[in-house]
Structure 1
Amino acid sequence: MVESQSLGQNGYLKCSNRLLIQWGTYNGATTGNTSIKLPLSFCDTTYSVIPVIMTEASEYATRSAMPYSKTESSFAVRRRYVTETASGDASSSVMWFAIGCWK
């Protein structure tokens, strides 16, 4: 049963059995590592988070978003790109999905 919800671009679904599902988009202009704040805090850091880099269809680069640190209320992501001739930190938008339990 749904306890509460926010169905916006950065939202969550909080269930009465303590299941918490969250999602969002980070559009920050920084390059490389960034911290993303969650809409609600999880009960601990055992939640799972899946970040995905947004890219342009005409772009010939491989981009990745790798989570490397988590707290109950945020997670950090390293954004990188690779082309045939270069690699480095990326500034692409990140869509993310997280699932765990709430306090």
Structure 2
Amino acid sequence: MERVSNMVSERPLVIFSRSNCGICHSVKSLIGGFGVHPTVYELDEISRGQEIEQTLARRLGNNPAVPAIFINGELVGGANEIMSLHLRGMLRPMLIRAGALWV
């Protein structure tokens, strides 16, 4: 988990994804729709991506490992959590507080 912590600690918004994942694409499109440019790690395209994905799977429990979204270094969750935050009007304020989105 230390490697993941290092990857997310210096960025306001980090998404761990797979380049061929439709749900990941939807989450990235939703966030991009706010005008936010997250740091995205495509786990099928980086070294040790499979190891990182296994770490995320353990951390998320039974949920799929990707997408995994970190805001301000904290794991927010996967697609369900992001969509829920968006529908409740809470995602945009979180992104603003994290410094990922300027008003």
Normalising by the smaller structure, the TM-score range is: under 0.3
Q: TM-score, normalised by structure 2?
A: 0.24
Report the structure, 1 or 2, having the larger strand content.
1
Q: TM-score, normalised by structure 1?
A: 0.24
> Is the radius of gyration larger for structure 1 or structure 2?
1
